[in-house]
Structure 1
């Protein structure tokens, strides 16, 4: 393998800052992750193919004066990919995760995300703490057929500094739009929301989102954007994205700058006026370098544009397709890790509730390689609490063992670095590039990765998986 150099002190400080903010973000505001009675319900009711797929979301929202409230209409069309009739769909209202159903006796009345006036199906009452809304279809949808469901949606940005929240005059709308839940061989995936890590699992879809807002507000979004004149004093930002798993945006009086990577990716930077200038500079430089490197290592970035949203008080970082939210200090922030997520979860999908290591550990391994961390001493930084802990554990486990969740950021990338030493650097590089290609816009599992690694190994990797708590 190519030797990894020891980090210069300034770079090592920045890497430790990145890891610290990631762990702070992961551990803040944890919601209870009790098992949902609906999770996995109906397994076997449909064929094994993940469905509904081929979704297209058409959204038109209008904001109030400060971007704290958005109201409008959303329509999603979709296809039944399974070999059994589809009788229902579920909308995930992830924005309700921390506030749940609001006041007792008035379910949904005080929830940040409220769906009403559903057409194309009959809605039940929201369940799983108001993060899941079942919509019964008027008639069974046969294999390969398409239909659509439309509804009014009201989104109120919570008063907290979070991925769905606000900082000063700036609004963050991550996981705010209702999206379709996934049904596969395990049944409907209706896991509870967790604020430590993520619960998200979605198939790729196309989005066309029209955001009507005051003209003094800048609105970065997932996908490519263009602005159109609206009513007097208002502007329409149109965001269009293809083959993405979610759609996020921000709003506020951002300063902006645009640059293009040598490979042709537009990097649009948005930052609040109180974000340290040196941190903005470092973040922008690292973003360009990371997109170029990861494009070579994992496959060319397919979306054409990335938006970096930077403020000084945001806790760590959060990734969305084509848009990342970044807490930014004079040392920069977690931009490299978050951009690695454009591949690991964004392009190569996984069930983040069931297998968080598949995106977090892979993104952090890419982060380690980018900064040149000497991983030969990797495990000296890892505290392993119990031999029974598995890196492959789900968020149900990590949410109940919050002090151990750091392992997906520390032990996980160390395990991948050890695998690189077992396979050889060139073989590991080919493995990751081919693995990304084989799961491009798809969904991966731990077993998929193990099979792929075994196929290029000269020895049985069973003992390796066991020794590294990956069974």
Structure 2
């Protein structure tokens, strides 16, 4: 891998295309593999595009209460999960779906090796059969839930960490539990979002929710987790990590004999770093420096980081990087990692949500645009008309397309941030900055769509942006 100055001096397009193609070929976590040379804002209670309640995203105002107990090395976790939610739609809610994304790679398992995530002892509804390769469970509610009413389901959960180095996996003595906790699917004007799991990119679509977790684990293990965390003594030889997270879209944790350090950014964010002992020291130092700087920089550009704490989890062999609310996983070399890109995701996917399966450019391209600005990359020759891989390639394609055209997926990291850089040229830097800050404010804790962004951009200029959207295949 090149040094930081080399990253900044090489053409933006060629460098990113090569890196993403390499990681796709090796099966790494390419969703965020683009490495670096990688007082709460106000907003409406619901995304302003959801004015028609019959099509409103639901179930909403979710609260997850979770208790978990880990085994000796954090490979197996058991506990209880309680989910309380409201029906935001005018139409009665007769069912919900639980997504078991942790089963995505292993599907329904085998007789001798069951799925990694299993549910049992359900209360508050009647379960159906697992579908979509054991990543979706339909639960029929005891009676239809009217608009504005709340109800609760609860179940036992068992999580076994797979033996692969992945966002839900392990590396040596370290365990990563991204997308391991079951969450509710979203229903909106398009119906239930029951998309298949994809390993290249993300399938995830979730509403801002509250989580309260109690994680009981061996005292020898450190457990970074989404939310504001603290520890208390458990039974002899054990520790309890407590976490409270408000208005986040998922909950992730890790476990292992990490080394740790904590610092507070100038903006008041507590940045906690966790790293495996064999992680290159220079990379750890660089990640800590850039991570702290990025959370403040993006707070100024897009709105103050609202969660109070951000955990950086670093190991030597993890492929690329992966974002979760308040926690990022970072494969770290001497030259650092994708830390800035991942921190940018705290806004673009986390605070300003989107359907990551239906429109991945809304988080990946926006995060990479922020990343490029942070490092001052020269984007002057970042994309040309002849760079599109095929006639069917469009920046706004869904993961259904990218999963079938893996060698084209780099487009969301290359053409996407380039399009935003050219939009900045078109509007002017000051107007673009105001646009993004206002757009984040207007969709704070809500949902963004391509149509929303195009409308917002057009509203700040008298110039017809239609030809611009056509040029960059933003459809």
- Shared fold (TM-score, shorter chain, > 0.5): yes
CA-to-aligned-CA distance 1:341-370 (integer Å, 9 cap, x gap): 000000000000000000000000001100
Q: Which runs of 5+ in 1 are unaligned?
A: 1-6, 32-45
Q: Distance in 2 between the 1:185 and 1:308 partners?
A: 36
Tell me, yes or no, if the aligned pair for 1:70 and 1:155 is still in contact at 8 Å. Answer: yes
Tell me, yes or no, if the aligned pair for 2:28 and 2:319 is still in contact at 8 Å. Answer: no
SS state at 2:319 partner: coil
Residue number among 38, 56, 67 corresponding to 2:63 in the alignment = 56
Q: Distance in 1 between the 2:345 and 2:260 partners?
A: 23
| 1:380–1:83 CA distance, 2 compared to 1 (3 A) | closer
Q: Distance in 1 between the 2:134 and 2:433 partners?
A: 43
SS state at 1:153 partner: strand
SS state at 1:365 partner: helix
Tell me, yes or no, if the aligned pair for 1:22 and 1:317 is still in contact at 8 Å. Answer: no
- C-alpha deviation, 1:447, in angstroms: 0.2
SS state at 2:67 partner: strand
Give the stretch that moved more between structures: 167-176 or 381-390. Answer: 381-390
CA-to-aligned-CA distance 1:419-441 (integer Å, 9 cap, x gap): 11111111100100000000000
Using the size of structure 1 for normalisation, the TM-score is: 0.92
Q: Name the structure 2 match of 1:379.
A: 383
Q: Name the structure 2 match of 1:323.
A: 327
- C-alpha deviation, 1:379, in angstroms: 1.7
Q: Distance in 1 between the 2:386 and 2:77 partners?
A: 44
1:418 has 2:422 as partner: yes
Residue number among 280, 291, 294 corresponding to 1:290 in the alignment = 294
Aligned residues: 448
Tell me, yes or no, if the aligned pair for 1:283 and 1:332 is still in contact at 8 Å. Answer: yes
Runs of 4+ in 1 over 4 A off after TM superposition: 10-28
Q: Name the structure 2 match of 1:336.
A: 340
Tell me, yes or no, if the aligned pair for 2:272 and 2:311 is still in contact at 8 Å. Answer: yes
Matches within 5 A, 1:415-454: 415-454=419-458
CA-to-aligned-CA distance 1:96-135 (integer Å, 9 cap, x gap): 000000126x9xx700000011000000111011000000
| 1:24–1:178 CA distance, 2 compared to 1 (3 A) | farther
SS state at 2:263 partner: strand
Q: Name the structure 1 match of 2:77.
A: 70
CA-to-aligned-CA distance 1:284-339 (integer Å, 9 cap, x gap): 11111111110111000000010000001000000000000000000000000000
Q: Name the structure 2 match of 1:123.
A: 127
Tell me, yes or no, if the aligned pair for 2:169 and 2:175 is still in contact at 8 Å. Answer: yes
- C-alpha deviation, 1:387, in angstroms: 3.1
Q: Name the structure 1 match of 2:230.
A: 226
Residue number among 315, 326, 329 corresponding to 1:311 in the alignment = 315
Q: Name the structure 1 match of 2:357.
A: 353
Tell me, yes or no, if the aligned pair for 1:17 and 1:331 is still in contact at 8 Å. Answer: no
Q: Name the structure 1 match of 2:38.
A: none
Q: Which runs of 5+ in 2 are unaligned?
A: 30-52
Q: Name the structure 2 match of 1:263.
A: 267
Q: Distance in 1 between the 2:138 and 2:103 partners?
A: 15
CA-to-aligned-CA distance 1:151-178 (integer Å, 9 cap, x gap): 0000000000000000000000000000
| 1:222–1:55 CA distance, 2 compared to 1 (3 A) | same
Over the aligned positions, Cα root-mean-square deviation in angstroms equals 2.0
Q: Distance in 1 between the 2:317 and 2:460 partners?
A: 44
Using the size of structure 2 for normalisation, the TM-score is: 0.91
Q: Distance in 1 between the 2:335 and 2:386 partners?
A: 23
Matches within 5 A, 1:110-149: 110-149=114-153
Tell me, yes or no, if the aligned pair for 1:171 and 1:252 is still in contact at 8 Å. Answer: yes
Q: Name the structure 1 match of 2:35.
A: none
Q: Name the structure 2 match of 1:98.
A: 105
SS state at 1:464 partner: helix
- C-alpha deviation, 1:25, in angstroms: 5.0
1:396 has 2:400 as partner: yes
Give the stretch that moved more between structures: 152-161 or 109-118. Answer: 109-118
Tell me, yes or no, if the aligned pair for 1:22 and 1:316 is still in contact at 8 Å. Answer: no
